[in-house]
Structure 1
Amino acid sequence: MRVLVTGGSGFLGRHVVRSILARGHSVVVLVRPSRASAVRIEGAEVAAGDLRLPRTLAAALEGVDAVVHLAACVVGDEETQFHNTVVGTENLLAAMAAAGVYRLVHCSSFSVYDWRAARRSLDETTPLESDRLYQRDGYAIAKTWQERVVRRWAEANDARLTVLRPGFIWGAGKERLACIGQELGPLDVIFGPLRETPITYVENCADAFALALDRDDAVGATLNVIDDERVSAWRYAAELRRRLGIKKLGVPAPYAAVMAMGLAATLVSRSLFPSGGKLPGVLMPLRSRARFAPHRFPNDRLKETLGWAPRWGFAEAWDRCVAKDAENNVDVASVEAPVAERKAPAERTPSERSAPAIARRSAELSEAAHA
């Protein structure tokens, strides 16, 4: 099978490419023209193409049997993320149809879920975000619409679609996770320290995408990707500090206190800045719920459908991370936050967002779907 992978040069993508190659398939990695000459992935072909430019996609799809769609925009304002993620996906789907390619494995996200609707467990039956979607951050809005567009296309074209929704993906170079807590000077504040974290080690996650291509049972399935081992936020943070030599003091903060603080900050912001005040992401109640709410995260459907099992346990995965960081001469302890977190501006209330432009585009998508 010849497989086109979008986002194949990224953190998850490189591992997905390796997993697909290991199963005997050939891989084409779609890379923006400005970067194509610099990207080298052993065993894979690199094709220049930009999801924002439809005319650049046809050549990359020549002879392709299936597509693994990982690409999504994680930085920039809400309108930028929406355009790059959703409109880029529309362009890809149109090019796939023109090329006669109707097998798609799509990478969604836990951000599409309505975390208020989850009770003790969050699984594939949990409702998706809808009525309060535009109160979420730009990434959640874009990923939710991206999945909607993919599903509508698959239904309209009788395509063979699999949707995978990974939890928080971690691995070498990306050990710090937004679902754990917040560093404040010498303190490592852990929100809801005893709760289970919905994490998956990047190599384990990549295997799920490769398996989904080969399993007939995966067609039509929606699967959450979470590792077997249940790791609390406190344990993850402690292992992070120990493995990377981070000299900070772990401090627990109950989930209820975090939510109360966020609600209070929201009320104060609205009273002082009626036209829209800025709040850091950790104080946005909807975002805090999606990151820190205490739930169980079963992966039974993933294992039953794909026959998947994680190759690496939590301790073994950390061994691999430390070795890889050393090999790459990465001083992870000096990195204060993930790249996307550092670049992102302070979160804004809905009145300050680029919601009008997003809403117009959303309406266009809805009208097209029902035309």
Structure 2
Amino acid sequence: MLVHQAKRLSSPCFVITNHDSSVLPNFTVTDKDGGKGILKFDRILCDVPCSGDGTIRKNPDVWVKWNAANGNNLHGIQYRIARRGAEMLAVGGRMVYSTCSFNPLEDEAVIHRLIVETEGAMELVDVSDSLPGLKYSKGKLSWVPTSRDMVGYSSFSEVPEKWQTQIRPLMFPPSPDKAGDFHLDRCIRILPHHQDTGGFFVAVLQKTKLLPWEASAKIEKKISGDNGSGGKQKEPPRKKRRMHGFREDPFVFFEDDEPVWPEIKEFYGLDDLDPKLLLTRCKEGKKKNIYLTNSAVRDIVINNEEKIKFINTGVKSFVRCDNRSMKCSFRIAQEMAKLVKIGETSMLDFYDVLIQVNIRGDSQYITQL
């Protein structure tokens, strides 16, 4: 579904991966000085798995299976995803946490736990003025964790031993005298009757400083680097990560000596297009499709393809067309041509618009849809 929707953008600037988001590895990127660094994101959306009781209007089967304790088993994975998102966020960046559930154990309890464990490095942002006209309820300041037998508990000490693996201490709300410190009322609860929609929970958080364990790791790295050997340490070789599930076709980027490039370059007049931004999905045999990316995507894929499973990237630009009457073995792909007014611009103009500037609906290069 995501691949299908992303193709509608016809953008070379996206990458789709398939990985457990709670343990998503750091993305390695090349620094300006040629060294290796860790990519941090300015914006992250954590649309976490949830019980889905907010979709009860369109999915009545949820009501048959509903139990107040449904969120207990999901709280852990939801928190781990949110925590990993916070780790991958740059200082000053924002993260949106969302569910389609009404259960506070899946909503405010996760946000409260994240703020507590990050020691205030993650703060809730007041976005009440961002969407004028949106009807919603404020986040809850208190809630009652409930076991599967529909018994609520006001503190962890009251929880019977048989339920203590499902109801954990950090699932409980803050004390009334400290509830205001967390600003949980800045969370947004969209109920079905507000806009005649489904139910949603949304919280916007901003990272104000390094997380406690990030700051500690940075100090330890600095200390360990000063070991009398000029700061250089030989790291043990890493084991090659095993990719589970269906094996994707490889991403093979062009090099300067790519055999099919001179023909395409001469026919379409692409003298200024860097062939290293083009890729195919096969290492051997005839190249059927050629995709266009940008330098950032190329760097991310090449540096991380051994540890992260990439699913899709790039815009299909050229398709092989073995026709004897053709002067070039590759034609322009529909995904690329549909954005260009034929006869009014060259392929180089299209490349400049797509890669170097922001595409706007009123641009002379964009077809009126």
Please indicate the TM-score interval, normalised by the length of the shorter structure. under 0.3
Q: TM-score, normalised by structure 2?
A: 0.26
Relative contact order: is structure 1 or structure 2 higher (C-alpha 8 Å, sep ≥ 6)? 2
Q: TM-score, normalised by structure 1?
A: 0.26
